[in-house]
Amino acid sequence: MTVNVAVVGATGAVGEEFLRILESRKFPVKELKLLASKRSAGKKMRFYGCDYTVQELTKHSFQGIKIALFSAGGSISREYVPYAIESGAVCVDNSSAFRMDDDVPLVVPEVNPQDIAKHHGVIANPNCSTIQLVVALKPIHDAVRIKRIVVSTYQAVSGAGLKAIDELQKETASILSGHEGFKRNLFPYQIAFNVLPQIPQSNAFLPNGYTSEEMKMVNETKKIMGDNSIRVTATTVRVPVIRSHSESVNIETERKITAAAVKKLLSTAPGVKLVDDTANQLYPLATMAAGKDEVFVGRIREDESIDHGINMWVVSDNLRKGAALNAIQIAEKLL
Ligand code: A2P
């Protein structure tokens, strides 16, 4: 069976990745519709070696569409997902618009595939940092129950879209060539050669002092794992890396688990690639994960400051498993 697929936000950083993953996984596409803003209408994009013309997104864009993959931001999803559902499409939405709605499943296929069946026309794709975290932690939670998670992220600029990649590249070049006065459009401070403890860059801080990205990690982790009792605290940080988010993760478990047992568990866990050979200086890197599908985990060691604690380093490609790949895996399960 082949189906008609629409990609909303086709011209963005995640949109481009949707096309490459639909091709590489041989997703059964009958017709493909590429949608973006009016600015991009007429632009050509390659799919299976052929040119496809980008069309302007309108409420009539979804006629005959079976699967709609959205990645054009929350306000576009809020406005257009209802039209897509009305036309009979099932939407996989990469924005945060519907993630915490009770009647919208929030799914990572390695963790809670059973939730897909509960959808009413839209399935939410979780936040990129949350996806890689729960893929790495679910097997440990099932084995010894995780009581508390402390996570600090080192997030690539591509999470903020193509304009953010452009700003990092141009700012880096400008600084290296000795030019002063580079004009930033996106980040509040210099991102080249710097580290910014604020994601997203545009949002004000919440009354509790956290950012919305940090609270997404807290709330989405509980929803995906189906366990409200897990305590989660996060610090999310932007680093001058183009692709792949890295995370320092500390967990406290109910029952004791050794570092060796965690390594054994994760060596066969779905979607995980264990890279943990410190004798040979092998551990996950952003450059290692870029363009790959797995969640890379390493530096696994016991937290010697508490009785039942583990530290680890978790890295994954934010545009693939953190966005487009996870959404397409959901769509595959839908079919
Ligand atoms: P466009 O390229 O026409 O602006 P990124 O996350 O890389 O910034 O990409 C955002 C995606 O969302 C792009 O494909 C962008 O299209 C799309 N987008 C932004 N605003 C709209 C809009 N008003 N209608 C449809 N698509 C939009």
| Model confidence pTM above 0.85 | yes
Q: Is 50 annotated as catalytic?
A: no
13 lines ligand 1 (CB under 6 A): yes
Buried b (16+ CB within 10 A) or exposed e, 78-116: eebbebbbebebbbbbbbbbbbeeeebbbbbbbbbeebb
pLDDT value of residue 28:
98
Answer yes or no: are the C-beta atoms of 297 and 284 closer than 8 Å: yes
* HEC secondary structure over 88-124: CCEEEECCCCCCCCCCCCECCCCCCHHHHHHCCCEEE
Task: Give Cα separations from 252 to 53, 147, 260, 310 (angstroms).
Answer: 51, 6, 16, 7
Q: Is 245 annotated as catalytic?
A: yes
Answer yes or no: are the C-beta atoms of 68 and 89 closer than 8 Å: yes
37 lines ligand 1 (CB under 6 A): yes
Query: Whose Cα sits closest to atom 2 in ligand 1?
Result: 11
The token pair that represents 64 in the structure block: 């005959």
- Phi, psi (rounded to 5 degrees) for 305: -90, -10
309 lines ligand 1 (CB under 6 A): no
Q: Where in the chain is the domain with CATH 3.30.360.10?
A: 130-318
* HEC secondary structure over 204-247: CCCCCCCCHHHHHHHHHHHHHHCCCCCEEEEECCECCCCCCEEE
Give the residue, out of 37, 75, 243, with the most ligand 1 atoms within 8 A of its beta carbon, to mutate for a pocket test: 37
pLDDT tens for the 335 residues of the chain, in order:
999 999 999 999 999 999 999 999 999 999 999 999 999 999 999 999 999 999 999 999 999 999 999 999 999 999 999 999 999 999 999 999 999 999 999 999 999 999 999 999 999 999 999 999 999 999 999 999 999 999 999 999 999 999 999 999 999 999 999 988 899 999 999 999 999 999 999 978 999 999 999 999 999 999 999 999 999 999 999 999 999 999 999 999 999 999 999 999 999 999 999 999 999 999 999 999 999 999 999 999 999 999 999 999 999 999 999 999 999 999 999 99
Q: Which CATH architecture has domain 130-318?
A: 2-Layer Sandwich (3.30)
User: What is the 314 CA–ligand 1 centroid distance (Å)?
Assistant: 29
Query: Whose Cα sits closest to atom 8 in ligand 1?
Result: 161
Task: Give Cα separations from 263 to 216, 218, 301, 309 (angstroms).
Answer: 27, 25, 9, 14
Atom in ligand 1 nearest the alpha carbon of residue 72 = 12
Catalytic residue among 91, 119, 141, 245: 245
Query: Whose Cα sits closest to atom 27 in ligand 1?
Result: 37
Q: Which CATH architecture has domain 3-126+323-334?
A: 3-Layer(aba) Sandwich (3.40)
Query: Whose Cα sits closest to atom 4 in ligand 1?
Result: 37
Q: Cα–Cα–Cα angle for 261, 271, 224, nearest 5°? A: 90
